[in-house]
Structure 1
C-alpha cells in the first residue's frame, strides 16, 4: 500500500518530431553524448518525490527506449507503453499503466531533457499543497494577439503572462475526473492544465527556470548542450 504522497511520473515521448526533420525520434538526439530521453528519465530517477515513472512513446521507439533504460540503469521506470494519436490520448495511456497506489501524477514532456531533480521536487511538493501545480516562468517578451492578415488586435499586459512548462502535477482523483469530463465533452487538450481548468479547478504556477526548455528545432539541441556544459557536463 502506497503513501498518500506517492507520485508517479508520466513521461510523454510519443511525438512525431517532424519539426526536427531528423528521420528519427528527437528522444534519441544525443545531448553531450547521452540520448535526450535518458537525460529526462535520469532527472526523475534522482528526484526523491518520484516513486516510479511510466514512459509513453511511439510503437516504433519502444524497443530502443527499453534498451536505453537498461543501458543507462534507469531504476524507476515501471512501464513503457505506446501512445495515442493525440497528447491527451498518450497521457491517458500512461495513466492507465500507473500503479494503483499513485496518489499524484507528474506529467512531463520527454523532450524537456534539461529538467532538474530539484525542479521536479518543487513542482510535486507544490501539488501536495494545491492539488494542481505546474512549473512556469514569466514571459520576457511583449506578446501580441494577431487577427486577420497578422494585424495586431491587442496587447495583453505582460506582467500577467507566464509560459507554462512541465512537469504539471495533479492529484489522482482530480485528474481522472478531468479526463472523464473531457471524454464526455469531446475535448482534446494539448496542455494538461487546460484539461483540469475545464472542470473549474485552479492550477497553481510555481517558478521554474528558463533553461527547462523543450527540444523542438535543431537550434534547441545546440542550446541544450550549452546549458549542460554550463552545469559541468561534458
Structure 2
C-alpha cells in the first residue's frame, strides 16, 4: 500500500526566542527538520514525504538543503493560517485515491521508527493509528469556580504524532469547515463519527518548543550515537 508522511512545520517558534524558526535550528549538526525527514525515510525509503512550510520560507529551506547537502527527496507545500489549514493543504497536494498517510509535527525529530511502523500497521487495520503515552504525574481538573478535583490518571493519555490514517478517510474528514474543537488531526477524524485507534508512542518524542527542549535534544542525539 502507498505510504506518505505530511510533516507540518508552519510555526514561527516565538517561545524559542531565536532569530529563526525552531524547525530550522540545528541539533546534532543539522536542522531539526532534517532529522525528522530522515527518520521517516529510514522506515520506508519509498515513502512520499511532504513538508509543509510557510511559503516565504521555501527559499531559505532550499538554501539549508544545499548548505547541509541534504538529499532526501521531499515535496514542499505552502502552509495555511492554522495547523488545520496546513494539513489540509498537504492532503490536497496528494492525487492518490488510496493509501496511508502519517501526519507529524516537523519539530518532533525523536519519534522512533517502531512507532511510525506501528502507526501505519494500525491505520491499515482500523483506519487510524494515533501515538499516545501514559501520564506519569497526578492530575487534577479545574472547575469554573476555581476548585480542583482529583482525576484517575490511568484513564488519560498524552497525545503525540504521528497520527496516521487511511488517506481516503482523512481527506474526507478535512473537507469540513475548521472548528475550534479541532486540536489535532484525530479530532477532525472523530468529527465524522469514527473512533480513533491508539498506539503506544515513545517518551522521547518531544515537541521542540523551548531552548530547554533543544538541550534535551542534543542529549538524546549524543545518547543515540554513544557519545
Q: What is the distance in 2 between the residues matched to 1:90 and 1:138?
A: 28
- TM-score (structure 1 length as normaliser): 0.89
State how many pairs are aligned: 225
Considering only aligned residues, what root-mean-square deviation do their CA atoms show, in Å? 1.9
Partner of residue 126 from structure 1, selected from 91, 108, 122: 122
Contact 1:7 1:102 in 2 (8 A): no
Question: Mean Cα displacement is larger for which, 46-55 or 129-138?
Answer: 46-55
**1:202 equivalenced with 2:195 (yes/no):** yes
Matched residue SS, 1:98: coil
Partner of residue 168 from structure 1, selected from 159, 163, 166: 163
Distance 1:14 1:85, change over 3 A: same
Matched residue SS, 2:14: coil
Alignment of 1:28-39 (within 5 A): 28-39=24-35
Q: What is the distance in 1 between the residues matched to 2:51 and 2:69?
A: 15
**Equivalent in the alignment of 1:56:** 52
Report deviation, 1:150.
4.7
Contact 1:38 1:72 in 2 (8 A): no
Report deviation, 1:75.
2.5
**Equivalent in the alignment of 1:73:** 70
Deviation track 1:25-70 (CA, whole Å, cap 9, x = no partner) reads 1011111211101110111111128621110011232122233345
Q: What is the distance in 2 between the residues matched to 1:143 and 1:49?
A: 41
Alignment of 1:214-233 (within 5 A): 214-232=207-225
Distance 1:200 1:66, change over 3 A: same
Q: Runs of 5+ in structure 2 lacking a partner?
A: none
Distance 1:125 1:49, change over 3 A: farther
Contact 1:143 1:156 in 2 (8 A): yes
**1:116 equivalenced with 2:112 (yes/no):** yes
Report deviation, 1:210.
0.3
Distance 1:66 1:117, change over 3 A: farther
Matched residue SS, 2:168: helix
- TM-score (structure 2 length as normaliser): 0.91
Q: What is the distance in 2 between the residues matched to 1:233 and 1:95?
A: 38
Q: What is the distance in 2 between the residues matched to 1:48 and 1:178?
A: 26
